[in-house]
Structure 1
Amino acid sequence: MDQRRAAVGGRVLVPTAIAVLTVTCAAAIYRAATAGDVASVAFVAVSYGALLLLLRFLRAYELAPPDAAAERERLRRRVWALCTLLTALFAWKVAGVVPWPAAVLVWAAAAATSAGGFFALSPRRV
């Protein structure tokens, strides 16, 4: 029963969340474009595209059969790359509005997060 309820919730919740994300990103792009802020338009557009790709690859990973090791490894690498891209994009935005000592900490945290994600998503070879 719980799995069926989760499946029904996923069929409603995920498309609703993506629709809300799309509307808010479109509004942010519109506001930035009317202000002439090309960097913000690019930031929102790239972040939105990367997030949609991340969701797609995570779903493909969930649905991949356990015996498809090569496919799962390829998807794992894509997920890590997109997570690293999103981490770098948000670190760039945050580092741009804080004093330089805090910016150094933001970039260090972003690097540590990406490195940790690499090791967490890497297959264990024993």
Structure 2
Amino acid sequence: MPAADGDLEGGRAWRGVATPPHDGGFTWLTMMGFWFLTLNTAMAIYSSQGDPWAIAFVAFSYLDLLLLFYCLQLFGPVHDPNSWRVRCVKASVRVLTALLTVMFSLKVAAVMPLALAIMVWALAGSTVIGGFYAFFVHRDATAGSHPARA
């Protein structure tokens, strides 16, 4: 059942939509995902056979993903979409996702023919630019008239 528009008690409503309370804890599924990511990272480092660039790529990707999940965890309990904390978390998420996009595009484009490599970089660039536009430039036309923000 949706909560009242002005009811932010216990983190149950934001923009008039009922949401479950956010306790900041991890679920068993989250922990299983982290263990899978860690195991995959360890296996990738082991199979890299001592190549320092491959190890650096895997380690940086792992750290980037951990930081991204941490930032997304921070984003959960906030209520004011215009607060300094939300803007910082949004910026951090955009930087981390842009880094992942560029890193993976670099790896994929390296094994592609030139025409496909150009397409990979064009798609990566449009993803980074489109994400920046969607998160920082574009404003929802109905946002100013929504009762939850008043």
Q: 1:53 aligns with which of 51, 56, 67?
A: 67
Unaligned runs of 5+ in 2: 1-19, 142-150
Q: How many residues align?
A: 119
What's the % identity of the aligned pairs?
36
Partner of 1:75: 89
Q: Distance in 2 between matches of 1:109 and 1:67?
A: 29
98 and 69 in structure 1: CA distance in 2 versus 1, 3 angstrom threshold? same
Indicate the RMSD between aligned Cα atoms, in angstroms: 2.3
Bigger Rg, structure 1 or 2: 2
Once structures 1 and 2 are overlaid, which stretch shifts more, 74-83 or 62-71? 62-71
Partner of 2:100: 86
Q: Deviations over 1:64-111 (max 9, x none)?
A: 232661100000000000000000010001001110110011001000
TM-score of the aligned structures, taking structure 2 as reference length: 0.72
Partner of 2:14: none
Q: 1 or 2 for the larger relative contact order (CA 8 Å, sep ≥6)? A: 2
Partner of 1:97: 111
**Alpha-carbon deviation of 1:125?**
8.8
Secondary structure in 2 matching 1:110:
helix
Secondary structure in 1 matching 2:107:
helix
**Alpha-carbon deviation of 1:30?**
1.5
TM-score of the aligned structures, taking structure 1 as reference length: 0.85
Q: Which amino acid aligns with 1:48?
A: Y
Q: Distance in 2 between matches of 1:12 and 1:118?
A: 33
Partner of 1:20: 36
Partner of 2:27: 11
109 and 71 in structure 1: CA distance in 2 versus 1, 3 angstrom threshold? same
Partner of 1:29: 45
Which has more helix, going by share of residues? Answer: 1
